[in-house]
């Protein structure tokens, strides 16, 4: 029997990167997976691949976590056999731009705050009551090294990830005694679409972020999430920092020439 047999996992931001990897690896471990993201075609392709690769059922849900009403509608409309979510992976998040705060874009700030903080809160608020009622469940919040160490021109993105870490700690306190566990995972540099999104499709600039060093892969982070989710029920891993060997801090990276 696989460790997550009979469980239902909901992954936000499941159409790429860490979210995609989490959906895949949790399905491999026996979970049925709800994949929530904005890009319908990409989401359905991933869902089909997971079902073919693992034999596990998936449920694609096309939704933008920034739209509270849309999230409420989508989650309330889940088929009855998908409603008892056991594991919520709050992965949806993004960075926009890399500029001094005095030159920052209000639109970029709104997008990061609405996705990284409000989106996480909306999904969590809608899923948590069911977990509490059943007396068990798990929330995994995907944060960032930026939630521990601010770096130049990262201002608002770093602030949103500090908020994720604070919310993880607050959840651990508020949910004490409910049977619901909360894990915060802060990755360092992971090569996904993150930098492409940050630099709005500038692939050359995005590639330069990882030049000369070996970053983490999305699956590296997903494996940590799976480890946390498969501990015995009395074990709660509160906080994880995972870094590539070539990175010592948010600003110190070893690059080979």
Angle CA 177–183–186, to nearest 5: 155
pLDDT at 41 over 80: yes
Per-residue DSSP letter, 223 = H
pLDDT over 90 percentage in the chain: 93
Burial class (CB in 10 A: 0-12, 13-18, 19+), 27: buried
Q: What is the pLDDT of residue 195?
A: 86
The phi, psi pair for 178, rounded to 5°, reads -90, -15
Distances (CA, A) of 104 to 91, 138, 222: 24, 36, 32
pLDDT band, very low/low/confident/very high, at 72 (cuts 50, 70, 90): very high
For residues 116-130, give the mean pLDDT. Answer: 98
Backbone angles phi, psi at 136, to 5 degrees: -165, 160
State the Cα–Cα distance between residues 190 and 213, nearest whole angstrom: 11
Q: How high is the pLDDT of residue 114? A: 98
State whether residue 10 is helix, strand or coil.
strand
Contact status, residue 27 vs residue 52, Cβ threshold 8 Å = no
Q: What's the CATH class of domain 8-242?
A: alpha beta
Q: Is 28 exposed, middle or buried (0-12, 13-18, 19+ CB in 10 A)?
A: middle
Q: Residue 248 has what DSSP assignment?
A: S
Residue 194 has pLDDT above 90, yes or no: no
User: Looking at 15, 71, 117, 157, which residue is catalytic?
Assistant: 157
User: Is residue 23 scored above 80 in pLDDT?
Assistant: yes
Confidence of residue 1 (pLDDT cuts 50, 70, 90): confident
pLDDT tier at 257, thresholds 50, 70, 90 = confident
Q: Which two tokens stand for residue 150?
A: 């601010």
Question: Where exactly are the structural domains of the chain?
Answer: 8-242
Burial of 225: CB neighbours in 10 Å, binned 0-12, 13-18, 19+: buried
What is residue 175's DSSP assignment? T
* Residue 177 or residue 257, greater confidence: 177
Compute the distance between CA of residue 92 and CA of residue 80 in angstroms, rounded to an integer.
24
Q: What CA–CA distance (Å, rounded) separates 143 from 214?
A: 20
The answer to whether 210 is a known catalytic residue is no
Does 74 score more than 80 pLDDT?
A: yes
């Amino acid at each position: 029997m696989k460790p997550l047999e009979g469980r239902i996992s909901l992954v936000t931001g499941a159409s790429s990167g860490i979210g995609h990897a989490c959906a895949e690896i949790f399905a491999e471990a026996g979970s049925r997976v709800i994949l929530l993201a904005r890009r319908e075609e990409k989401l359905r392709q991933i869902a089909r691949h997971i079902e073919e690769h693992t034999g596990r059922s998936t449920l694609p849900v096309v939704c933008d976590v920034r739209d509270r009403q849309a999230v409420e509608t989508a989650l309330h409309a889940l088929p009855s056999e998908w409603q008892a979510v056991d594991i919520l992976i709050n992965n949806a998040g993004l960075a926009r731009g890399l500029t001094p705060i005095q030159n920052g874009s209000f639109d970029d700030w709104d997008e990061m705050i609405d996705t990284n903080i409000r989106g996480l809160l909306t999904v969590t608020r809608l899923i948590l009551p069911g977990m509490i009622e059943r007396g068990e469940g798990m929330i995994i919040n995907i944060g960032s090294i930026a939630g521990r160490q601010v770096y130049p021109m990262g201002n608002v993105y770093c602030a949103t990830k500090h908020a994720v870490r604070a919310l993880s700690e607050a959840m651990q306190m508020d949910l004490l005694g409910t049977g619901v566990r909360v894990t915060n995972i802060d990755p360092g540099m992971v090569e996904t679409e993150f930098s492409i999104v940050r630099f709005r499709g500038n692939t050359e600039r995005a590639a330069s972020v990882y030049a000369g060093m070996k970053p983490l892969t999305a699956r590296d982070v997903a494996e940590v999430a799976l480890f946390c989710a498969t501990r015995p029920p009395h074990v709660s891993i509160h906080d994880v920092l995972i870094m590539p060997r070539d990175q010592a801090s948010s600003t110190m990276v070893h690059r080979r020439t």
